[in-house]
Amino acid sequence: MSEPASVPAPGSATSLTRSFDALTPEVMRERGSLKWTYYPGDIIGAWVAEMDLGTAPAVAAVIQRCAQEGTIGYLPPETAQAACQEVARYHREAFGWDVPAEEVSLLPDVLSALNAVIAFHTREGSPVIVPTPAYMPFLSIPGHHGRDCLQVPALERRNHDGSPRWELDLDGIEAAMRQGAGLLVLCNPWNPVGRVLSAEELSAVAFLSSRYGVPVFADEVHAPLVLDPSLTHIPYGSLPDTDPALTYTATAVSKGWNIPALKCAQLIASGQARARWEADPRSAGLSHSASLLGAQAVLAALRDGQDWLAQVRRYIRTNAELVRQGLDTADGLEVTLPEGTYLAWLDCRGLGTDNPARFFRRRAGVAMNEGVTFGDAWDGFCRLNLATGRAIEAETVRRIVTAARQRPVSA
């Protein structure tokens, strides 16, 4: 017998929206994630880059099946190969990038790949270029290998509607390459400013990479999360003017399907870059650190999790609009909403606060990331996570706006 028409089918858009809308801070704290338990008390967790929205039913089902059947041991070669083939298929169909499966290898996470590229596949002692604001580990990892981190702050531009837009400082990147840099870290979609980089920007990077012989490490973990329907993610390595010998692409389903704990990212490299990667046992051996459960989740997400992801993108877009409308009513705040990712970049310089993230945590009970942790030039900014339930997002906006309006002059 079919279900009554008034009952949403499990996994339907209506069912998902209702489940997301039902989320409360109390529910999230009971789940026990770092984002919701690190700060005690009545604090809304809006800092760590993970979603509060669970994962796709297909992914949840494979996790449950593996646990029930005891399939939680080591990763067999055939499952690893199937995951690589699925990643290749997904990139071909979603982004038009024809990636042979043999050019894909598994990793525990993206940062393990970055560590390996810096340590084993760049000139010893050479600096690492990081456009900022940047994902925090990109700024600290070079130092772990005795490398200088050359921060290149983004250029602040304006869209036609007057909203802020952050662009790569290509002149600054070129100047850093002239200094003898050994690597450029390129994040696209760009955490935390949410840009989906254009073909023109990416081609300009490729030109500089080839001209100065500087490899590019492209972090594309947020590629499935392009929110703007008019935009498409362009993999850096797919461009015809990209030099394969100078290109390493890291990707994963961890952000799009919200499963970073399952430890199965991917590295895409071809030509000489692939040959060097495989020839060094320290980088090639990373494939043995990927998890069986993670590889199974990759297969489930890419094969059967696309409808869920589309619904999540729509939900986050609506959250973003709610944030825009709310924060537009508060003086001293300007928000950059993401074209891709679920992260908003909040300019709080107009508030006159020494540490806006601390101010909002103490006065509003909202925990966001401090801008200065994304680079030296970004004091006065905060990163706000939009991937939460609608009621939580509305309360977040209410608290931020109230605190901004009531701030003392010397806040």
Interval 117-153: pLDDT, tens: 999 999 999 999 999 999 999 999 999 999 999 999 9
Query: Which pLDDT band holds residue 12 (cuts at 50, 70, 90)?
Result: low
Tell me, what's the pLDDT at 14?
80
What is the H or E stretch that residue 382 is in? Answer: strand 381-385
Query: Residue holding tokens 């997904």?
Result: 90
Looking at the predicted structure, is the pLDDT value of residue 11 above 70?
no
Instruction: Give all domains of the chain, ordered by start, each with its CATH number.
Output: 13-55+306-406 (3.90.1150.10), 65-304 (3.40.640.10)
Q: Which residues pair with 104 in a beta bridge?
A: 268
Tell me, what's the pLDDT at 123?
96
pTM here is 0.95
Q: What is d(CA 264, CA 154) in angstroms, rounded to the nearest whole number? A: 31
- Better-predicted residue by pLDDT, 13 or 88: 88
**Could you tell me where the DSSP H helices lie in 96-147?**
110-120, 136-144
91 and 235 Cβ atoms separated by less than 8 Å: yes
Interval 235-281: pLDDT, tens: 999 999 999 999 999 999 999 999 999 999 999 999 999 999 999 99
Q: What is d(CA 57, CA 339) in angstroms, rounded to the nearest whole number? A: 26
Q: Mapped to the 3 state alphabet, what secondary structure does 270-338 carry? A: CHHHHHHHHHCHHHHHHHHHCCHHHHHHHHHHHHHCHHHHHHHHHHHHHHHHHHHHHHCCCCCCEEECC
Query: Which pLDDT band holds residue 53 (cuts at 50, 70, 90)?
Result: very high
Q: What is the mean pLDDT of residues 5-18?
A: 66
Radius of gyration, CA atoms only, the chain: 21
Tell me, what's the pLDDT at 3?
42
Interval 283-306: pLDDT, tens: 999 999 999 999 999 999 999 999
**257: DSSP letter:** T
Q: What is d(CA 160, CA 155) in angstroms, rounded to the nearest whole number? A: 16
Tell me, what's the pLDDT at 302?
98
Q: What is the mean pLDDT of residues 165-173?
A: 98
Q: What is d(CA 298, CA 287) in angstroms, rounded to the nearest whole number? A: 14
Tell me, what's the pLDDT at 4?
42
Q: What is d(CA 299, CA 203) in angstroms, rounded to the nearest whole number? A: 31
Q: What is the mean pLDDT of residues 68-82?
A: 95
Q: How far apart are the first and last CA of the chain?
A: 62
Listed in sequence order, the residues at least 6 apart from 289 whose beta carbon sits closer than 8 Å to its beta carbon are 107, 108, 112, 263
Query: Which pLDDT band holds residue 6 (cuts at 50, 70, 90)?
Result: very low
Tell me, what's the pLDDT at 8?
55
Looking at the predicted structure, is the pLDDT value of residue 408 above 80?
no
Tell me, what's the pLDDT at 407?
82
Looking at the predicted structure, is the pLDDT value of residue 69 above 90?
yes
Mean model confidence pLDDT for the chain: 95
Tokens of 136: 């925090």
From residue 124, how far is each of 83, 119, 146, 209, 274 by CA, in Å?
A: 33, 8, 9, 18, 19
